[in-house]
Structure 1
Amino acid sequence: MTGVDYEVEYNNRARVPENPELMAGWARDAAAYREQRAPRRIAYGPGPRHVIDVFAGEGQNKEQSDAPLVVFIHGGYWQALDGSWFSHMARGLNAHGIGVAVPTYDLCPQVSVADIIMQMREAMRELAELSGRLIVSGHSAGGHLAACMLATDWKAYDEYLPPQLVSAAHAISGLFDLLPLVPTSINKALGLDEASARAASPLFWQPPAHGSLDAVVGEAESAEYHRQSRSIVEAWGGAGIATQFGTVPAANHFTAIAPLADPASPMTLRLKELAGR
């Protein structure tokens, strides 16, 4: 992809000048939702950020282990934010009686992207105690992590886990090829070189042997974000798993996840379908 200005393509805050107001809205709406529907907090590791907020669906029995569980993994280029900014992303599915788990993870440069992938695997292992069927969604860096979870060989990771622990991934504005980030200012915190960027890129992994991948992107996002989602849909679809590419009409990188808070949105209804409900 010679001639592409990767700094311009991937610097979402510069592309969307109103991002401070949009992010302030996330924090406000997330806090209001926690007040309305207090989550159950569980730990998946020893650190203060190794936590998962679990929002039970309306009318859902919290001990119901056979019910599917949707996971939402937050973004922030692996170097910002935490799950508490996104509690309201559970609202849409909760209204349909579906539980939603929102994990937090350590951030770069304190840890590497590879470390964060491993932390999310630990979180999925913990969530396996609640449900044997996880549908993993995520935004931006979280979309990358959602794809990584679908492509994980769970039996190799832990012989006691079901091989199809993650049955589907729904990646919103995801990054699947990290090589273009290496020459950008984003990489100052990530510390990636070509080898580590390739190793952390699910586009270059063995495609999943089961499940499905949705890769959706805001209609108004950069050409590189569209390319990222199309590339993994083509690669994994060509390997035999069900894939689909979609756009969120008129959405930018920061508004692409807004439909998750709406019970009637196509995005929420798609996740409800993936959950088999």
Structure 2
Amino acid sequence: MDLEAEYNNRARVADSAARIAAWARDAAAFREAWAEADHALPYGAGERERLDLFRPGPGQAWPIALFLHGGYWQALDRSFFSHAARGLLAEGVAVAIASYDLCPAVPLARIVDQARGAAAMLHRRTGRRIVATGHSAGGHLTAMLMATDWRALDPALPADLVPAGLPISGVFELAPLLGTSIATALQLSRAEAEALSPRNLPPPGGALHLVVGGAESDEFLRQSRDFAVHWGGTFEALPGLNHFTVLDPLGAPGGVLARRAAAMALAVA
């Protein structure tokens, strides 16, 4: 199997650069238009340890979802994904979109810790449990949040702080990346790749729904399908969508992913 071809989505999708540029434009326009938001809220001391919190309306009494962006833990930030909140906001769910540091400036384990810090900050701010969702690398981080022992991090946090997750085109086994160009910035040993793979962690319980584009590589389809079986979640492949267009139904009001994520958020609110 050509693992580079299976996992290098920018090379696999011909218009990937144009789609990422369109994300940036759509996200900036959405931030300009959406008034009910707090921007660059700190969840840690670092420059990139910030999140934007979008609310459906005035006040704080909303179910909440945390969105974690993709980029193979080595590219992009929250500014490319603000518009992904639109669909959940239409369903009455507040959405936090977080940035984090990138490899190789920090190790992947540090990024996992930052995702945990963002979730903990949201709970302290809102008092609510959180549905996690994320795209690509953010799908991996979504699963890692579900698997977290929150009481070990802070006894004041609820044990089920993140009881539900909706990873979109996530990577749950990191070892296949080691022989690809993607691994250069990650600088993972095989032992680290295994330890940071959600597929190798015991199922934490909770609600898990995995989504992947039907036009994605065989490996992306396999990873989500196998992970759903391992953790007892559900799985769907959205017909005709690739690794980039699969995110569209989350940001679309009435979109299939927005409705699914909103139902999960309401169930744990």
TM interval, shorter chain, is over 0.9
User: Is 2:247 the counterpart of 1:249?
Assistant: no
- Give the secondary structure class of the aligned counterpart of 2:219: helix
> Aligned partners of 2:45, 2:193: CA distance in 1, in Å?
27
Query: After alignment, is 124-133 or 103-112 more displaced?
Result: 124-133
The two structures, once aligned, show a CA RMSD in angstroms of 1.1
Report if the CA contact (8 A) 2:67-2:95 is conserved: yes
Letter in 1 for 2:86: R
* Match in the other structure for 1:205: 201
Letter in 1 for 2:147: A
Letter in 2 for 1:207: P
* Match in the other structure for 2:114: 119
Report if the CA contact (8 A) 2:145-2:162 is conserved: yes
Query: Which digits, 9 at most, give the CA deviation of each residue in 1:112-132, with x for residues without a partner?
Result: 111100011111110112242
* Match in the other structure for 2:131: 135
* Match in the other structure for 1:229: 224
Aligned pairs for 1:163-202 within 5 A: 163-202=159-198
* Match in the other structure for 1:144: 140
> Aligned partners of 1:95, 1:229: CA distance in 2, in Å?
27
Equivalent position to 1:34, from 17, 21, 31: 31
* Match in the other structure for 1:44: 43
- Give the secondary structure class of the aligned counterpart of 2:254: coil
State the 1:162 CA deviation: 0.5
State the 1:189 CA deviation: 0.2
Letter in 1 for 2:214: E
Equivalent position to 1:269, from 255, 259, 263: 259
State the 1:60 CA deviation: 4.5
Letter in 1 for 2:68: I
Report if the CA contact (8 A) 2:91-2:259 is conserved: no
- Give the secondary structure class of the aligned counterpart of 2:235: strand
Letter in 2 for 1:69: I
State the 1:206 CA deviation: 2.1
State the 1:173 CA deviation: 0.2
Letter in 2 for 1:261: G
Equivalent position to 1:15, from 12, 16, 41: 12
Letter in 2 for 1:37: W
- Number of equivalent positions: 264
- Give the secondary structure class of the aligned counterpart of 1:276: helix
Percent identity of paired positions between Structure 1 and Structure 2: 49
> Aligned partners of 1:188, 1:247: CA distance in 2, in Å?
29
> Aligned partners of 1:79, 1:163: CA distance in 2, in Å?
30
Structure with more helix by fraction: 2
State the 1:96 CA deviation: 2.0
State the 1:233 CA deviation: 0.6
Query: Which digits, 9 at most, give the CA deviation of each residue in 1:61-89, with x for residues without a partner?
Result: 23x2xx32011100000000001100000
> Aligned partners of 1:5, 1:101: CA distance in 2, in Å?
36
- Give the secondary structure class of the aligned counterpart of 1:166: coil
Aligned pairs for 1:92-103 within 5 A: 92-103=87-98
- Give the secondary structure class of the aligned counterpart of 2:253: coil
- Give the secondary structure class of the aligned counterpart of 1:245: strand
State the 1:40 CA deviation: 0.5
